[in-house]
Structure 1
Amino acid sequence: MKKQLLFLILILFTLKAVAGDGRKQEVDSLLAKSMEFGGKGDLVTYIEMAIKALNLASAVNYDVGKAKSGSYIAEGLITVGLFKEGLKQLDRIETTDFYKNEIFMQSEVHRLRGRAYGGLMLYQQALRELRMQQGLIRKLTGEKQIKSYQFNYENLAVVFQRLGQLDSMQKYTELQLDNLKVFAEKDAAMRYQIVYENLGKLYVQKGELAKAQLYLDKSLALIEKYKIPIVLNTYGVLGSLEEKRGNLKKAAAFYEESLKKKRVAGSRIGIKSSYRELADFYRKNNLDKARADHYEMAFSRLNDSLENENRQVVDQVLNQILQLKDQESETKVSKVATIAILVLVLLVGAISFFIWRTRHNRKALLQKEEALQETESVNRELTEQIGENKFNTLVELAKSNNPEFLTLFTELYPQFIQALKSRDSNLRSTELEFCAMAFLNFSTKNIAEYTFVTVRAVQVRKNRLRKKFDIPSDADFNNWMRGLVDTSEQA
């Protein structure tokens, strides 16, 4: 009898495992369907399939499915402009074991956060996320690494374009080109064509028209050689190039050709931008008022239509997200009874802890207030010395771990750098940068955050510098650094 019972239990466990595997396969199938709809530009169905996958993965506790479906949902939300909702999905992904163990998923979360922050016009946060992604991409290999770099460089180029930093935009657009060199031209013809097109547009903006022509000719050659079917912007950029040269007849022909290509491709957003382009061109150059009015009217009609459609898409997506939240709430309700019991058991301990914590926090708060007052005093002094704008720029460079930080700091505080080098002429740039952050009164935690290392690593480096400069153990490290300038001036 016992053997039969054990045999039945074994069968039940086997059936449960098989059923679980079947549900996991169903999740993977839903994710594959989601990708298909995403490739067709059907964002509503793309997100709908991903939400179904997430619900099923949560029901069977399929960790990989929860992470992947969450990333699909986040990508869709960010694409339709629901940036804050997308960021919430990314927070959920970080709770999965798959995220914690999979470098590529970590890289993707930083990429998506970069896109979301860029959409919210929080450009410094976007740059930070994308630079953190680069650190993870270095650990990847093969095609995943190459594609990740390509998207990373594209996103960085977009952020710098929005910031109006054309040199940085150029750097990352050219890096896209270098990254593509591992592929044969015919295997990545469309990617090459888009990069050439972007470089052409960039050089038109910079007024380097010969270089712009060079890259646009390369784009046209690829279009002709590989019969690339969808060409949205090359002819429009050629129009702006000829307009800059003063060849208005050629410019008009290119702008009109660009509109024709976009109509063939069926790109309504592209058509809208061409209408705007043509209306502005004809009006600004006093060429043809009737044509300008015609394209202005066409732009208004299409823009209203697209905005209405976009609102409908956003409404549909929001409804799906609300349904997802309702389902999450139902799951939470079923856990309330268990949680209530745990709360009662822990209540006495929590009260005791609260009393102790309150006393501890009072003491910590006093210490923080003293430290804050000191920091504010130091910042006021430094700001008075060099001016608020330069000081703010210096702090932002430090926070984004920008290599230009040390250059600007040396320019603003040459006495401090000279005082350091007089004590040790062989100091490395990383040591100078570290001491500069201490001079600006950054805390150990701040330095660790801005330089992407652990707090422990910062403490170790401080101890090494204490030995190198004979800083007494009872002396405040930051105060000692700031005192160097006074000491050198007295000498």
Structure 2
Amino acid sequence: MLAGFSAFAQKSYNFKKAESEARQLLHTAPDSALVIINTTLAQKKPIHDTILGNTYSLYGIYYAMGGKPDSSIYYFKKGLNHVNNYTENKKRILSNLAIAYRQKGKYKESINHLNEVIAISKQQKDSSRLALVYGELASNYNYMQQYDKSVYYLLKAIALLNNKNDLDKIAGLKQKLANAYLAMENFDFAIDLYQEALSIFKEIKSDKNYYLTLVNLGETYIRIKDYNAALKYLSEGVSGLEKFGDKEILGIAYNKLGNIQRKKGDIKKALSYYQKAYNYLTTTNSVRVLRIAGEYIKLLNDTQNYQKALQIIKETDPYRKSIESNVDDRMVYVMAIAETYNKTNQLKEAVKQYKTAITLVDSSSFNETERKTKELQAKFQTKLQREKNIALKANNDALKNKVEAEERLILFYIIGSIALFLIVLAFLRTYWLRSNLQKEQLKNTEAEKSLIEQQHQHEQELNNNQRKAIEEKKRELTATTMQMANLQDSINQIINKCSDNKITLQEIKKELEVLNKKKDYWKQFKTRFNNLHPEFEKKLSSEFPELTKNDIEFCSLLKLNLSYKEIASMLQISYESTITKKYRIKKKIGIKDDKEFEKLLLNL
């Protein structure tokens, strides 16, 4: 009886129904979906390749939602082996595989698989699938900070679905577009798009997407400093996402909660959330590990908990080689750990990290990317607004067209008559004026020529005298500067002799008396520099009040085009300290590029 019942159960198992139920449950009750998946694979009777491929794909989705991209990639590839001859199934699994590679930060592999799907979809003229793939491509470029490409593919995707009633797909694309606008700091537009996506996700009961959108909406409110609204949306989002077990998404969400508590001044809660976020992301090898670790370390530095910060650095540093984070995320991490090393007197390591930060700044093309994406953003907003006004404009145009046509005809006759009269009048007046002007010009030409020659000669003499005076002042100023440096070197020589016991007290006294008789070169330097550039210190202090007196004196030396080595010798600091001081001054005044900084000093 038991054997017969088992055979009947195997025979009556409905594979298609099981697959449909598992697919629905993945986004609401993933563990229940896993039971159905395992039951399907446990069936002893022959299973069609499409069922096997789809079931392994569901396995991959389950692990992807749990923040395990390696396992999801394994099962997606296993599913592909069964559906190579079934293009619909192949397109779906290739898309999922591309998403899994994106989770690992392998954007090149992800884009390659998405391009495979695009080629198949274009061949089959499958616009719905094509729109979805464009959306996934946009997500890749968003992670890669290429926002212009992200917006481009999202607009293409939305255009393909405009005439269809695919609410879930349109909502997903709007969510992605909102992510791009959030990254470009167009917060109002991002909020509108998130709210539209939320209402659709709620209507179609797409729970995970709904909670994920809440998290992104919370981030938007953080950026506009509405922390109460941000806390409300994030708390609801995190609570809903807990049941899906996606550790990467949870890590990012807890990090955002930490940001809110830090802004509100609750440091204890902020540290707790940062630790949770860090724990989640390190277990998934997320590409966001470096940024979130950097934010955590920065807060630890602010609270002077340097030992904990050093511990996090030790645990995180291996990820610098194993994951492919973007330049901004690496910059956040490098600047945080450089500060930790600086505060713990590990100056050599701190300098090394500051140099790395400078390299990252030089390699970033953020400004150009930002310019392009804002242009695309403006185009899209204009297009969207125009679409909203089309209906109203069409009605108004229909009422006005006839009246405007008659008015234009009458106006044309009037303007034509007036224009003809004015042209004739202007021609006659011009002819009369031209005759008089030619006579006057003949009289004045010679006198003006003589006057211009005299003025030119006078200006040339004046410029030559001014140039000589400026050059003389510059030579005096440079000489004073070098005398200052020599005075510092003399003092250092006396100190070195004392350290080596190669000089007597009487000789020290004699050499110090000689130095004492020398002029106060620094005072001379300041006097001559102010004579040469009287407005420099005043303008620099006025435009950048955060600069200290020492910063302004350092900028004075830079304006003279002295080398780092000469400045270091003069100020008795190391070559590296000179570079670091210049970098800090640039950071204070908000300038990254050396050429822009030099241009600023030159114009003051």
TM-score (norm 2): 0.41
TM-score (norm 1): 0.49
Rg: which structure is higher?
A: 2
